A and B are shown apart, each in its own frame.
Chain A
Amino acid sequence: MYISLDWLKQHVVLPKDLDPKELGLKLTLATVEVEGWEDLGLMLDKVIVGQVEKVESHPNADKLKLVKVNIGNKDLIKVVCGGVNLKEKMLVALALPGAKVRWHGEGNLIELEKTQIRGEESYGMICASDEIGLGELFPCEEGAILDLSFEQLQLGQSLSEALGLDDIVYEIDNKSLTNRPDLWGHYGLAREVAAIYGNKLNEYNLNKIKNSKEIDLTVQVKEKELCPRYLAVALEGVRVGSSPDWLKKYLRSIGQKSINNIVDITNYVMYELGQPLHAFSADKITDNLILVRKAKPAEKLVTLDGEERELNEDDLVIADKEKAIALAGVMGNANSEIIDSTKTVIIESANFDPVSIRKTANRLNLRTEAAIRFEKGLDPNNAEIALKKAVNLMQDLIPGAKVVSEIVDVSNFKLNQGPIELTWNFINKRIGFEVNKKQVVKTLESLGFEVKEVKEKLSLKIPTWRATKDVSIKEDIIEEISRIYGYDNIEPVMPEIKMDVPEENKLRKLERKIKNICSVGLDANEVYNYSFADQKFLHQINQGIVDFVELENPWTPKQSYLRQNLIPGLLKNVVDNLRFYSDLNIFEIGKVFIDNYQGVLCRNEGKERLPEQPLICAGVLVSEKDKEASFVEGKKFINFLFDQLGVKFNYEVSGSELVWQHPKQTLNIMVDKEKVGYLTNLHPQLTQNLDLNKTVTLWQIDLTKLIQYYPTQVKYQEPAKFPAIELDLSILVNEEVQWKDIKNIVQSVSPQLIKQVDLFDVYKSGKIKVGKKSIAFTIKYQSDDRTLEMNEVEGLQKKIIEQLEKGLKAEVRK
């Protein structure tokens, strides 16, 4: 929203030497966010009104013309111009050397100089509207220059003067006004400015209106809840024409185009008081009867923008006996629009239910100036003031305009004006220091509160314009007092609180520990993927979407579902990153979503539950290794991870339960007989689908399950008292022989004395023997009660070899 300083000055006295920047800053710190301000006069410095006298072709350029511009004296200004709409006698905005313009409406302001364009002198520039900051007000076609011929302007006059654009204009962030229905017009903001500066707000004066009963205007409000107040009045003898300069100037300064006197007046009142008005052509309304009713199912209406809209029973319309004539609080209907021949108008000033307006405006995507005001909850009292102001203006500006009906007022509202009661003690405690009572009372009064002080208590009557929703509790008053006092003037004070050790969040601790182990200890790279599941990619990896949590309003079809697993996202990362890397080691920790509604409660005392959202950790290893080596690498990863976590686990052979699991190369990770995760090689089908020529090993751990076993108390063991003897053994076995069988045979020879059997090498090569593999491992012998003698150990080693030869047909390599 734009706010004009001149306009504000109509309502509040401001210091003569006011720094516009300072006012903007003060508003930002006390009331609303001022996003910027602009000195319109400065923008248009050295831009004047000129008339195109002569257009000749440029000798060296087809698209350029040589133009002579009349600026009201004898000398014609020679300019080179390429405007596509250039014609003789046209009124144009001529920027002279020294003016600041924005080339083609983009980039920074550039100071204009006398120049040569393709060998021809140019003493200025004929501007397009966006080159001088008027693009919004006077939109130009691409390549066209601003045509000012619609207005009678004095040649040579500065453009800012000619258009009345010498104001200072503030741009206010609409979002910061969400809770302040009273600030959607200049008068409301003037009240804030008055409170901030400690100055007086001018009273809002209205002339008395002489009623008449020539027209029997009737209003019937069928929906009292949705329309708490409806005022209307008819005026005859209006002549639709152009508005006076002062009115045009105000509207222009805030970026509004002048349309005609009637529309301009209703707009002016809205931007002044924040109350939207609507004007109907009276001759289009049957029997001078206005109904406020709900739309009928599938009722149709053509809004002023020319669009046909289909309504439903949630929408509120203004109608006569036969037809809807406006979409209440949102936009008028073309069938009752003011046209040049309109003689009698009916002006509406009403108050509508904010929720109803918001629903309709949002559904039809019609976020009009009226709708964004009504949805904030306007003060019904303001409707009356606005209507009267509009009638005053019509009678002032249109000679012969005459009120021909009563001011009809159907009113069904009640406001909660309090009082709010609060003690000085409460105020001091919540703000954090002892306030100056006199200053507080002055602040509240300047904001419109009626203040009664009884002993240590304040009793406050809420002004009507703040009573719709905005102010209702003690804490609201704390805000009023402290923001006008200035938050920056409050001395920071550290709270005095009891010391305690914060309770530890175990799951967070586990998550953090794993991230640390994976990144620092296991050299893995953490990725974040979206919580959405890409159906197309899932299809590519043969994953259906049954039992996926689905979104009602996905932004793109790629994000229609929520992920049930981290693996698909990680596989996508693999595909994307293999362009740049040959080996990958990535992991992610994140929530996944199960469509089972067995998660935490939706709300504290309710019954329904949210979808389960376990915290999962998963990763992928990609390399050129063979599948076995890659799988072993994965095991090394998991072993290290669990060792660091101090959680004991074992592997259990598993088939394929998920599409990416290899049916014969999958191990479940078991802790205390509970499956907490798995390790698998990527299913060859998926390797093929994704066109991967690498070995991919995947792992996953469900942290929501693992957490029960973490953290474990470390059980330390005393260092062994007697020395250990370690002997290596290298054997040749058939390729199919599994390590776990070798290990079992070795251990069975002497479970007491053989403390550890560690694999350190597996080697397959035609050089050894086809169909064979070499396996090398270390056996650790140790006794708990004596020092082992070498010959005893050698005896055991021999026995092991015998057993291996017998059981697995192993050959010892020398």
Chain B
Amino acid sequence: MQKELEKLRKEAVEAMGQLNDLDDLENFEIQYLGRKDGKLNNILKSLKDLSKEERAVIGKLANEIKEEILADLSLVKEKMEKAAVEEKLQSDIIDVSLSGQKKQTGSLNPTTIVQYELEDIFRSMGFKVLDGPEVESDFNNFEALNIPEHHPARDMQDTFYIKNKGKNNKEGKKVLRTHTSPVQVRAMQKYGAPLKAIVPGRVFRYESIDASHENTFYQLEGLMIDKDISIANLIAVMNTLLKGIFKKEIKTRLRPGFFPFVEPGFELDINCLICEGQGCSVCKQTGWLELLPCGMVHPNVLKAGGIDPEEYSGFAFGLGLTRLAMMRYGIGDIRLFNSGDLRFLKQFK
């Protein structure tokens, strides 16, 4: 039996020298060391016929041989694996310069992107996001906002009127809302005070269309009502808001502006982003850009919304979403937004 084992050792060393690849190696392992039908095991099957002493000697030898084969084998295996990787490195050739095939990608209208960004800023400051009808009553669009019929302020908001077909006309005309402000009244009636809300939405103006004028565009109205809200509060909130929009401190200035639904009313200008206040063609050499009409909510509007102006005060503001998107992306022609032109729209993700 000892002889047999020695013979096996010799045979195994020889066979190991003949191994070509990892497959051979695996076969070799099964052939010599396999549990079921391996050569070493087959020899050891007759171990049970030997005496205790002989068994100890033979068993030790068999173990030695097994260890030896395994150790040699792992060296061979290591070498072969290295060679295999080496060979792959040589043979695996691909053209990495091939261009990635174009995948169709979706896009959002740039106004949508800016709108959602603003909604997130306002929601983080505790504002509700509201909505209202686009065909609105003349009452909510104008009268409840302190703009009676034939008021010169109506000049500022040229209006599309809905044709009256003889029904539902006792409570006044219907209009395509000229601003998102009518939602102020609806929101106050629904939620009462205190109230913090924004209204992003589509608005309409009766005017001719050119590169800088549209009859359909987007605004974002904001409203905050609570006890003892002051002009100083308005300035602070507006500055914070602008910091959120432009991601940096923005120099602002406030000046009188007339909007009948606020008193006092302001125009908030920001330092021109292009020239940083030095004066350029964008800001018409003034260094300032008119950005945000705002003001303290007029007591008549609070009353129309069912809120007591003696107890509460508040401010409102209006942001031109479309205009903001134009500034953000440097879009020079407002008509592109509603053009449906995918060459334009596909660029905004």
Q: What's the least CB distance linking B177 to chain A, in Å?
A: 11
A593→B129 contact, CB < 8 A: no
In the complex, identify which listed stretch (A139-147, A413-421, A436-444, A484-492) lies at the interface while the others stay far away. A484-492
Q: Is the CB of A613 within 8 A of B337?
A: no
Asked if A432 is an interface residue, CB under 8 A from chain B, the answer is: yes
Give CA–CA (A532, B131) in the complex, Å. 20
Q: How far is the CA of A30 from the CA of B256 in the complex (A)?
A: 6
Segment at the interface with A among B29-37, B55-63, B93-101, B236-244? B236-244
Q: Knowing A476-B263, A529-B340 touch, does A375 contact B299 (C-beta < 8 A)?
A: no
Shortest A581–chain B CB gap in Å is 6
How many residues of B are in contact with the other chain, CB < 8 A? Answer: 96
B102-132 CB mask vs A (1 if < 8 Å, else 0) is 0111111101100010010001001111110
Known: A528-B109, A551-B162. A497 touches B194 (CB 8 A): yes
In whole angstroms, what is the CA distance A414 to B299 when docked? 24
Tell me if B105 and A523 are in contact (CB < 8 A).
Answer: yes
Is B221 in the interface zone, CB < 8 Å from A? no
B207 pairs with A527, CB closer than 8 A: no
Contact A505 B263 (CB under 8 A): no
Pick the interface stretch among B20-28, B78-86, B133-141: B133-141
Q: A603, B232: Cβ atoms under 8 Å?
A: no
Contact of B164 among A31, A552, A586 (CB under 8 A): A552
**How many interface contacts (CB-CB < 8 Å) are there between A and B?**
264
- B196 contacts across to A, CB distance below 8 A: 497, 502
A472-531 contacts to B (CB < 8 Å)? 473, 475-476, 478-479, 482-483, 487-488, 490-495, 497-503, 505, 507-508, 512, 515, 518-531
A531 interface neighbour in B134, B163, B264, B313, Cβ under 8 Å: B134
Q: Which of B10-18, B41-49, B67-75, B168-176 contacts A (4 or more CB under 8 A)?
A: B168-176
The proximity string for B residues 291-308 relative to A, scoring 1 for CB distances below 8 Å and 0 otherwise, is 000001011000000100
Residue-wise, chain B 207-243 has the 8 Å CB interface mask toward A (1 for contact) of 1100000011000000010101111110111011000
Q: Looking at the complex, which one of B163, B236, B263 makes contact with A475 (CB distance below 8 Å)?
A: B263
Nearest to A478 among chain B residues (CB) is B264
Q: In the bound complex, how far is the Cα of B317 from the Cα of A253, in angstroms?
A: 38
Q: Of A493, A522, A551, A607, which is within 8 A of B171 by CB? A: A607
Q: In this assembly, does A53 line the interface, its C-beta being within 8 Å of a C-beta of chain B?
A: no
For chain A, give the interface size range: 35 or more
The answer to whether B163 touches A550, judged by C-beta atoms less than 8 angstroms apart, is yes
Q: Which residue of A lies closest to B148 (CB)?
A: A355
**Interface presence of B341 (CB below 8 A):** yes
CB <8 Å contact, B208 and A555: yes
Chain A contacts for B171, CB-based, 8 A: 602-603, 606-608
A432 B174 Cβ-Cβ under 8 A: no
> Which stretch in B1-9, B153-161, B270-278 binds the other chain?
B153-161
Docked Cα-Cα span, A526 to B338, in Å, equals 11
Please determine whether B174 and A487 come into contact, CB atoms closer than 8 angstroms: no
Interface residues of A in 524-557 (CB under 8 A from B): 524-531, 549-555
Contact A523 B256 (CB under 8 A): no
> A724 contacts the other chain (Cβ, under 8 Å)?
no
Check if B165 is an interface residue, CB within 8 A of chain A.
yes
- A28 CB–B CB distance under 8 Å: yes
Main secondary structure of the interface of A (DSSP, over half): loop
Say yes or no: A505 contacts B131, CB within 8 Å: yes
Contact A610 B299 (CB under 8 A): no
**Which residues does chain A contribute within 8 Å of B111, judged by CB atoms?**
528
B322–chain A nearest beta-carbon distance, Å: 10
Q: Compute how far the CA of A530 lies from the CA of B209 in the bound complex, rounded to whole angstroms.
A: 12
CB distance from B54 to the nearest CB of A (A): 50
Residue picked from B108, B189, B194, B237, most chain A C-beta under 10 Å: B108
A470 to chain B, nearest CB (A): 10
Digit string of A551-590 for contact with B (CB within 8 Å is 1, else 0)? Answer: 1111100010010000001001100110011011110001
Beta-carbon contact of A551 and B237 below 8 Å:
no
Q: Pick the residue among A178, A502, A586 that contacts B342 (CB under 8 A).
A: A586
- Beta-carbon contact of A520 and B106 below 8 Å: yes
| Nearest CB on B from A258, distance (A) | 30
Known: A528-B109, A529-B340, A603-B171. A499 touches B224 (CB 8 A): no
Which residues on the B side are within 8 Å of A33 (C-beta)?
Answer: 255, 257, 267
A176, CB-defined interface residue at 8 Å? yes
* Contact call A577/B340, Cβ cutoff below 8 A: yes
A698 interfacial by beta-carbon distance below 8 Å? no
- Please indicate which of the listed interface residues B130, B164, B206, B231 has the most CB atoms of chain A within 10 Å of its own CB: B231
* Nearest CB on A from B338, distance (A): 5
CB of A609 within 8 Å of the partner chain: yes
Residues of A within 8 A of B189 (CB): 604
Q: Does A123 contact B (CB under 8 A)?
A: no
Establish whether residues B129 and A432, one from each chain, have CB atoms under 8 Å apart when the complex forms. no
With a 10 A CB-CB cut-off, give which of A354, A482, A581, A607 has the most chain B CB atoms.
A482
Contact check, B137 vs A610: say whether CB atoms are below 8 A apart.
yes
Q: Is the CB of B296 within 8 A of A430?
A: yes
For residue B343, CB closer than 8 A to chain A, the reply is yes
Q: Is A358 an interface residue (CB 8 A)?
A: yes
CA distance A581 to B341 in the complex (A): 11
- Cα distance, A337 to B299, chains bound together (Å): 47
- 17 CB-based A-B contacts, threshold 8 Å: A31-B256, A32-B256, A33-B267, A175-B258, A429-B228, A490-B231, A493-B236, A495-B233, A552-B163, A555-B206, A559-B215, A572-B340, A577-B341, A593-B135, A602-B139, A608-B170, A610-B133
Task: Give A contacts to B, CB under 8 Å.
Answer: 28-33, 36, 175-176, 178-180, 354-355, 358-359, 375-376, 429-433, 473, 475-476, 478-479, 482-483, 487-488, 490-495, 497-503, 505, 507-508, 512, 515, 518-531, 549-555, 559, 562, 569, 572-573, 576-577, 580-581, 583-586, 590-591, 593, 595, 597, 599-600, 602-604, 606-611, 613
Given contacts A33-B267, A555-B160, A603-B140, 14 further A-B contacts (CB under 8 A): A30-B256, A176-B257, A431-B230, A492-B233, A497-B194, A497-B196, A503-B128, A505-B131, A523-B103, A531-B204, A549-B163, A586-B342, A597-B167, A611-B162
